């Protein structure tokens, strides 16, 4: 039943515009009425999968109703039947990593699921399209206790998949997603990577610019996980998205443009939240002020390139303006 928690509420609606068909999600908000949230072009694989996923909601609600009725007959109280939290596998991963002590030793949630936490924990505007992959960054050097991460993930149901091209191991669970752990390429020596393989039974993927996220951690407590988890501050996430939007690693070239658009959309919604909060704005100034010259240049280039990926209403002109506004005001303050 925890799958139901992750299904967006609303009714998919198909519209035709200028000869093309697009999916929207109609939602009702008290005091605001109905609004249509753009999902994407009809026929696109990711979009059609999302529409099918949304379509499961009615069936899952009926199943949940039947389960609750049976539990009530067994004497389970109403308060114990309330649905809260995140996707079951997501919380299971976070909980397992916590028991292994990794949150205390430099593990960080990154990627699209990080944005999901921003939306649910920090009231960043909801955005439904994201990958189902679970991405984590790990601080180097790792100085924590030994742990068998390989066995931990296998026990959760994932299967190890060796990627010889990038010398990394991904953990895949069909129908749910993939777990990837990354380290900063410029921070990790060959000896440190060897130690990770021995101490954690983990073969992480080295990437550029990860240290930008690692250097600005925040902790948050989420429902269903006993220990607080670590994720990057929204200001660091925003800057990182701009630097890597068009140059991210380990991407399928056929899906690259759609992935770039999603990254810019997430950056825009985070920028909007940052601009609403004075302390977040001050932190963004500090993050930018610490950037090396080459990363500051790539950040500016990434922001300028955002307009090339506008495809309203998925990534709108207004979204790009939020990116530019946040960056302009922060640059002026550095």
Instruction: Report the pLDDT value the prediction gives residue 147, as an integer from 0 to 100.
Output: 92
Q: Is pLDDT larger for residue 69 or for residue 90?
A: 90
Instruction: Report the pLDDT value the prediction gives residue 230, as an integer from 0 to 100.
Output: 96
C-alpha pair distances (Å), 104 with each of 182, 192, 218, 227: 17, 18, 12, 9
d(CA 80, CA 71): 10
The answer to which of 102-106, 187-191, 266-270 has the lowest mean pLDDT is 187-191
pLDDT at 78 exceeding the cut of 60:
no
Mean pLDDT (whole number) for 144-154: 92
**Tokens for 261?**
């658009």
Which of 71-85, 273-287, 311-325 has the highest average model confidence (pLDDT)? 273-287
d(CA 92, CA 103): 14
Mean pLDDT (whole number) for 303-327: 91
Tokens 């976070």 correspond to 94
Proportion of the chain above pLDDT 90, given as a percent: 43
- Residue 184: burial class (beta carbons within 10 Å; 0-12, 13-18, 19+): buried
Instruction: Report the pLDDT value the prediction gives residue 328, as an integer from 0 to 100.
Output: 92
**E strands, the chain, in order:** 11-17, 20-29, 33-41, 107-110, 134-138, 159-163, 168-173, 177-184, 205-207, 217-220, 229-232
């Amino acid at each position: 039943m925890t799958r139901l928690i992750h299904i967006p509420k609303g009714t998919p609606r198909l519209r035709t515009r200028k000869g093309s068909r697009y999916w929207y999600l109609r939602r009702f908000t008290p005091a605001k009425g109905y609004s249509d949230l753009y999902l994407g072009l009809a026929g696109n694989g990711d979009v059609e999968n999302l529409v099918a996923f949304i379509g499961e909601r009615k069936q899952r609600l009926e199943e949940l109703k039947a389960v609750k009725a049976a539990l009530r007959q067994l004497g389970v109280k109403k308060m114990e039947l309330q649905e809260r939290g995140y996707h079951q596998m997501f919380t299971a991963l976070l909980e397992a990593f916590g028991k292994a002590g990794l949150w205390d030793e430099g593990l960080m949630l990154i990627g699209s699921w990080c944005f999901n936490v921003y939306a649910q924990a920090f009231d960043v505007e909801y955005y439904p399209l994201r990958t189902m992959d679970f991405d984590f960054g790990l601080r180097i050097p790792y100085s924590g206790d030994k742990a068998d991460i390989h066995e931990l993930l296998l026990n959760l149901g994932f299967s190890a998949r060796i990627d010889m091209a990038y010398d990394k191991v991904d953990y895949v669970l069909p129908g749910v997603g993939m777990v990837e752990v990354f380290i900063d390429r410029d921070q990790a020596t060959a000896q440190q990577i060897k130690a990770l393989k021995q101490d954690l039974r983990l073969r992480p993927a080295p990437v550029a610019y990860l240290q930008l996220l690692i250097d600005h951690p925040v902790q948050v407590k989420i429902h269903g996980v006993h220990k607080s988890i670590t994720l990057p501050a929204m200001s660091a996430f925003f800057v990182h998205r701009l630097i890597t939007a068009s140059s991210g690693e380990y991407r399928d070239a056929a899906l690259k443009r759609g992935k770039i658009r999603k990254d810019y959309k997430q950056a825009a919604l985070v920028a909007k939240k940052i601009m609403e909060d004075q302390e977040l704005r001050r932190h963004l100034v500090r993050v930018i002020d610490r950037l090396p010259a080459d990363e500051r240049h790539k950040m500016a280039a990434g922001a300028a390139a955002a307009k090339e990926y506008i495809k309203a209403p998925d990534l709108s002109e207004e979204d790009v303006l939020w990116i530019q506004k946040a960056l302009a005001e922060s640059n002026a303050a550095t």
